């Protein structure tokens, strides 16, 4: 159980070390997934796609916050 906690901590720290370009690429990728799932939900009424779209929207929110943080850090240099 402690190994999982350590891996999660390392993973969260590595996310903070990503540069803005990598974060932007992740945002774009996640947005494409969101867009596809949102279209499936709205056009075909696919409930599972709606769930995936909502999950993607939360991931996008997290990535945007990370981008803002890294952007502010970079502007202070």
Please write the tens of the pLDDT for every residue from 8-22: 655 654 555 568 889
How many domains does the chain fold into?
1
On the CB side of 28, how many CA atoms lie within 13 Å of its CA?
Answer: 6
Q: How confident is the model at residue 73 (pLDDT cuts 50, 70, 90)?
A: confident
> Does 36 score more than 80 pLDDT?
yes
**Is 45 part of a structural domain of the chain?**
yes
- Mean predicted confidence (pLDDT) in 36-53: 96
What residues make up the domain containing 45?
19-75
**Is 7 part of a structural domain of the chain?**
no
Please report the pLDDT score of residue 20 as a whole number: 86
Are the C-beta atoms of residues 16 and 4 closer than 8 Å to each other? Answer: no
Q: How confident is the model at residue 64 (pLDDT cuts 50, 70, 90)?
A: very high
Please report the pLDDT score of residue 44 as a whole number: 95
Q: How far from 4 is each of 38, 45, 59, 60, 73, CA to CA, in Å?
A: 33, 37, 21, 24, 29
Task: Show the tokens assigned to 42.
Answer: 């709205």
- Mean predicted confidence (pLDDT) in 21-25: 92
**Is 3 part of a structural domain of the chain?**
no
Average pLDDT of the residues of the chain: 85
**Is 24 part of a structural domain of the chain?**
yes
């Amino acid at each position: 159980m402690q190994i999982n906690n350590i891996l999660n901590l390392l993973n969260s720290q590595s996310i903070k070390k990503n540069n803005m370009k990598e974060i932007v690429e992740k945002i774009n990728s996640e947005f494409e997934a969101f867009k596809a799932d949102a279209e499936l939900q709205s056009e075909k009424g696919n409930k599972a796609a709606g769930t995936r779209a909502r999950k993607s929207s939360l991931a996008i929110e997290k990535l945007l916050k990370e981008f803002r943080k890294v952007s502010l850090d970079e502007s202070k240099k």
